[in-house]
Amino acid sequence: MSDVSVVICAQNARERLRSCLESLKQALPWSSEVLVVDSGSTDGTQRMVTDAYEHVRLVRNETDPGFANAANQGVAMSRGAYVLLLDARIQLYPGAVTEMVAYLERNLRHGAVVPRLLRADGSTVAAHLRLPTLATALWLGTPLERWRPRNAELSRAFACDFDYERDGDVEHTASACFLMRRKALKRSYTLDASLWPHFHEADLCARVREAGWRIGYASSVLALDEDGVGEQVYPELSPEWHAQRLAWYRTHLGQGAGWWVKSCVGWTLADRLARELRRRINGIREEPILPVWRAYSGVLRG
Alpha carbon of residue 161 to chain centroid: 20
Low-confidence ranges of the chain (pLDDT < 50): 1
CB atoms within 10 A of CB 31: 11
Bridge partners, residue 215, by sequence: 112
Give residue 279's pLDDT: 84
Q: In this structure, are residues 139 and 156 in contact, taking their beta carbons and an 8 Å threshold?
A: no
Task: Please say whether the dihedral angle defined by the alpha carbons of residues 271, 277, 278 and 284, taken in this order, is positive or negative.
Answer: positive
Q: In this structure, are residues 97 and 23 in contact, taking their beta carbons and an 8 Å threshold?
A: no
Q: What is the topology classification, in CATH, of domain 4-126+164-224?
A: Spore Coat Polysaccharide Biosynthesis Protein SpsA; Chain A (3.90.550)
Let me know if 51 is exposed, middle or buried by CB neighbors in 10 A (0-12, 13-18, 19+).
exposed
What letter does residue 54 receive in the DSSP assignment?
T
Give residue 1's pLDDT: 47
pTM of the model: 0.93
Give residue 117's pLDDT: 98
Distance CA 227, CA 90 (A): 8
Distance CA 239, CA 241 (A): 5
Give residue 272's pLDDT: 85
Let me know if 291 is exposed, middle or buried by CB neighbors in 10 A (0-12, 13-18, 19+).
exposed
Give residue 31's pLDDT: 86
89, amino acid identity? R
Give residue 118's pLDDT: 98
Give residue 231's pLDDT: 95
Element spanning 300, H or E: helix 289-301
Closest to 74 in 3D by CA, of 39, 36, 41: 36
Closest to 105 in 3D by CA, of 218, 191, 202, 209: 218
Segment 201-255, tens digit of pLDDT: 999 999 999 999 999 999 999 999 999 999 988 887 888 999 999 999 999 999 9
